[in-house]
Amino acid sequence: MSVAQLGIVGSGIMGSGVAECASLNGFGVVLRSRSQSTADSTLAGIEKSLAKAMEKGRLAESERDDALGRITATSDLSELAECDLVIESVVEDIEVKKHLFHELDRVCKDHTILATNTSTLPVVELAMETGRPEKVCGIHFFNPAPVMSLVEVVRPITASDETVVSAREFAERCGKTAVEVKDRAGFVVNALLFPYLNNAVRMLESGVASKEDIDCAMKGGCGFPLGPFALLDLVGLDTSLAILDALYGEFKDPNYAAVPLLRRMVAAEQLGRKSGQGFYDYRH
Ligand SMILES: NC(=O)c1ccc[n+]([C@@H]2O[C@H](COP(=O)([O-])OP(=O)(O)OC[C@H]3O[C@@H](n4cnc5c(N)ncnc54)[C@H](O)[C@@H]3O)[C@@H](O)[C@H]2O)c1
């Protein structure tokens, strides 16, 4: 099944990034937030991001106008009814996502594929909330979605081959490289990345070096574009903590047990770029 109209639920960092990326690649996008004011401000954020791309000469004015013209921002879930594919990208919380899949199953047409952008949670549990488990899979974009080239297509044991093929084709039409992964917490990238990020926080807590020097060391010594603390701030510390908790819950590997400092920072609402403060200060 070829996708023409995409629905996105959730307008945080990832929902807005996926909307931007898909509309730039020719898909009609219905972006659903919980309130119309958030939906409108998310659309304004996408407009700003496209204006920046234009300033840098990466986008023509007509391409920007076409991309914006393809996005509808709404607070009404039933506006997703005509979508061929819906990607859920709300907070990393299994109960919230389960409730949403139940609702999406009710409002979407029978042919619609329901996908999740979860970083770690069991996709099969979301599939079993619906009457169409064979049409549910993971489509995991990376942050920032318009820039990062990878998409993990996650195959729960309930998914049909047709669903996985359609998800892969959608990702490739968004200009991404798709890899297929089994439904295991963290898939490939986060299962390997998060022990590293968690151990960087442990290293900071034990006073081996400053955060600036650890970031500098990993950039200069490993060729990484961002050090671990800049990356944690970009991902969001709340999302990072939820990812570690899900990984630890599934594997009980001590490398996944979130370091106390990370949990304390989330309790203090120091969430990284999105709250203005995390390991670094973004308020100025
Ligand atoms: N941040 C990343 O780097 C990254 C990368 C890939 C995938 N993801 C995944 O994408 C999803 C969204 O993450 P994000 O980084 O965009 O988070 P975010 O905090 O920026 O946005 C979360 C969104 O969920 C909505 N939300 C919160 N509680 C809700 C509820 N009870 N019901 C409905 N909506 C609710 C918020 O309004 C917001 O729109 C998560 O599953 C996350 O694991 C995140």
Burial of residue 69 (CB within 10 Å: 0-12, 13-18, 19+) is exposed
Is 37 part of the annotated catalytic residue set? no
Q: The pTM is what?
A: 0.96
Is 119 part of the annotated catalytic residue set? yes
DSSP bridge partners of 138: 116, 154
- Tell me the pLDDT of the chain averaged across its residues: 97
Q: What is the pLDDT of residues 154-195, one digit of tens each?
A: 999 999 999 999 999 999 999 999 999 999 999 999 999 999
Tell me which residue of 63, 103, 58 sits closest to 81, measured CA to CA: 103
Q: What is the pLDDT of residues 224-256, one digit of tens each?
A: 999 999 999 999 999 999 999 999 999 999 999
Q: How far apart are CA 114 and CA 124, in angstroms?
A: 12
CA 17 to ligand 1 centroid distance, Å: 11
| Length in residues, the chain | 284
CA 60 to ligand 1 centroid distance, Å: 30
**Structure tokens given for 49:** 């991001």
User: SS3 for 37?
Assistant: helix
DSSP state of 119: S
Beta strands in the chain (DSSP E): 5-9, 28-32, 71-74, 85-88, 113-116, 136-141, 150-155, 177-182
Dihedral of the CA atoms 122, 35, 266, 268 (nearest 10)?
Answer: -160
Check pocket membership of 111 for ligand 1, CB cut-off 6 A. no
Q: Which of 92, 117, 140, 198 is catalytic?
A: 140
Is 190 part of the annotated catalytic residue set? yes
Atom 20 (ligand 1): residue with closest C-alpha? 12
Residue 188, CA atoms < 13 Å, CB-side half-sphere: 15
**Structure tokens given for 269:** 């609402």
Q: CA-based Rg of the chain, rounded to a whole angstrom?
A: 19
Q: Is the pLDDT of residue 1 over 80?
A: no
- Mean pLDDT is lowest, of 53-62, 216-225, 259-268, for 53-62
**Structure tokens given for 248:** 């630890």
Q: Is the pLDDT of residue 284 over 90?
A: no
Q: Which atom of ligand 1 is nearest to the CA of 234?
A: 3
Check pocket membership of 198 for ligand 1, CB cut-off 6 A. no
Q: Which atom of ligand 1 is nearest to the CA of 14?
A: 16
Token pair 């949403």: residue: 100
pLDDT band at 16 (very low <50, low <70, confident <90, very high): very high
